[in-house]
Each structure stands twice: as C-alpha cells, then as structure tokens.
Amino acid sequence: MVPAVLATVTIPDAITFVLAAAITLVGAFGVVLMRNPVHSALMLVMTLFGVAVLFVEENAQFLAAVQVIVYAGAIVVLFLFVIMLLGVDRKERILAEVFRGQRPLALGLGLMGLAEVLLLGTSHWTTGARSVAGAMSTATGASGASGTYGGTPSLNTADLGRSIFTTYLLPFEVTSALLVVAIVGAVVLARRPQRRPGAPDAESAAGQTIPSDQPLGSGGTGAMTPPAGAAEHDPASAQPAPGALSAAGRGGGSAR
C-alpha cells in the first residue's frame, strides 16, 4: 500500500511535507519538554512555521501568511512579553510531580486518544470517503468557473475574501464584537485595582491635597494596594505628611 502511495506522490511534495512535519513535531515536543518558558515560546514559533509551510503545501497561502503574521508575530510576542513582564523565565522542575501518577495517567490518556483518533481516521466512516478520490483541485476551481481569474494559480485570497464577505458575513461582523469584548476585558483585567469608584472627583483632586474624610471604600481598597506603589507615587505629588500618603497615591494613580 505504501509503495503505491509513494508512487503517486511527487518527490518535492513529499520532501516538503516530511521536513515541515518534522519541524512541527520537534517544535511541539520542545514546547512540552523545555523547562524554560522562553524556550517553549521559541519552540512554539518553530511549530507555527512548520504549520505555515504545511498550509502553503495545501494551497492555503493567505492562511499561511496570516499564521506567520498573527501567530508568530503577535501572539508569541505577547507570550514573550508576559513572560518577561512577570519574570517567570526561570526553570521549572519538570520532574517534580504534584499529584502521584499524573504523568503516566496523562500519557496513557494521550496515547489512548491518539490511537482512537487514528483508528477512526483511517476507517472510512469519519471522512465519508466519497470525495477523496479526485478532489485535489482546490477552491481555485470555483473562481475559475466564474471566469474572473481563470488560469492564475494563486486565487486563495480572493476566494477566501469572497467567501468571508458574502457567505460568512454575519460571523465576520460578530467577530468584531468579540474583539471589542476581548480588548475591553484585557483592559479591565490589566488595570490596577481601582481605589475609588468616583473617577472625576479624583482627577480634580490630583493637584491639591485631599481631605481625610474620604468615603469608606477608599480606605479599604487603599489597604489592598502594595506600599511600594504608594511610595512610588508619593514623591511625584510631593506630599510630606504621612496621613496624606494614601491620598497622594490615589491622586497619582488616577491621574496616570
């Protein structure tokens, strides 16, 4: 069976696939096995490049470019940024096991799932197996039939754009709402804990001394802030009185 398959596959395609698959798998193992999170992130870049090569091999050129730009260019950079920001780039004791038997159980489950997927994937009923035979022409056939771009090989972007902006227009619009929600959520999560709900009051009080009869919530939330942050804001607003220290930190924090 294997020589029959190999007879139909052209040599450059096979070499490309094998190399990209090797890159992908080595990178994936590196993500899991590297002890330093920075190294894991770099191995993730390797995997993403391998998958991008496979996308090109499968005539998904636009997605390959987006994969490199968005994943390797934005998401991994975000990972690295958070790793550096939090300073967690120290090595993890990867052999330390918290729950007894977790590793063998995870490996067993993984191998079992892999065997199951492979068993189902090589049988006929999951794929339907009817359009397997000669369907190697990609979506270029659709637009080639429309006659607009007939003959040119790289129609992937045009096809994808036409499909997104016609058939999948509503999901595309909903995606914008999702992105807005994600941005708002990230801003809310990344903001420092609010000292006081009344924001406009604090802005006017940033330049002057704040009387000590603040509402109760300010004292409660002010105690949650680390003293390093209050001391950091203190010389900026030049309040020498120790009683006004939390007020100065409040003003500086809200004005920032």
Hey, what are 244's tokens?
Answer: 């006004």
Q: Could you say whether residue 110 binds another protein (CB under 8 A)?
A: yes
66 binds another protein (CB under 8 A): yes
Residue range at the interface with another protein (CB under 8 A); choices 111-119, 210-218, 233-241, 242-250: 111-119
Q: Which stretch binds another protein (CB under 8 A): 74-82, 146-154, 198-206, 234-242?
A: 74-82
Question: Would you count residue 185 as binding another protein (CB under 8 A)?
Answer: yes
Cβ closest to another protein, residue 120 vs residue 236: 120
Regarding 28 and contact with another protein (CB under 8 A), the answer is yes
Number of residues engaging another protein in binding (CB under 8 A): 88
Asked if residue 137 binds another protein (CB under 8 A), the reply is: yes
Distance of CA 56 to the CA centre of its chain: 21
Residue 82 and residue 43: Cα distance in Å, rounded?
A: 16
| Binding span for another protein by CB under 8 A among 25-33, 146-154, 203-211, 240-248 | 25-33
CA distance 73 to 134: 36
For residue 134, the minimal CB distance to another protein (Å) is 10
Q: Identify the helix (H) or strand (E) that includes residue 119.
A: helix 102-122
Q: Is 44 in the site for another protein (CB under 8 A)?
A: yes
- Show contacts with another protein in window 153-182 (CB under 8 A): 156, 159-160, 163-164, 167-168, 171, 175, 178-179, 181-182
Q: Using CB under 8 A, which of 46, 65, 68, 75 touches another protein?
A: 75
User: How many CB atoms neighbour CB 139 within 10 A?
Assistant: 16
Q: Which of 210, 185, 180, 183 is nearest to 195 (CA)?
A: 210
Sign of torsion over alpha carbons 213, 218, 223, 227: negative
Answer yes or no whether residue 228 interacts with another protein by CB under 8 A: no
- Following DSSP, what letter does each residue of 44-58 receive, concatenated? HHHHHHHHHHHHHHT
* Of positions 65, 68, 73, 79, contacts another protein by CB under 8 A: 79
**What is the amino acid identity at position 164?**
I
Q: What distances in angstroms separate CA 151 from CA 59, 140, 148, 155, 156, one per listed residue?
A: 15, 9, 9, 9, 13
Instruction: Using CB under 8 A, pick the residue from 19, 84, 123, 141 that binds another protein.
Output: 141
Residue 210 near residue 250 (C-beta atoms within 8 A): yes
Please tell me whether residue 239 binds another protein under the rule CB under 8 A.
Answer: no
Q: Which residues contact 195 (CB under 8 A, 6 or more apart)?
A: 202, 218, 221, 222, 225, 249, 250, 253, 254
57 binds another protein (CB under 8 A): yes
The residue from 19, 84, 132, 231 that contacts another protein (CB under 8 A) is: 132
- Interaction of residue 21 with another protein, rule CB under 8 A: yes
Per CB under 8 A, does 135 bind another protein? Answer: yes
Of 131, 145, 216, 238, which one interacts with another protein (CB under 8 A)?
131
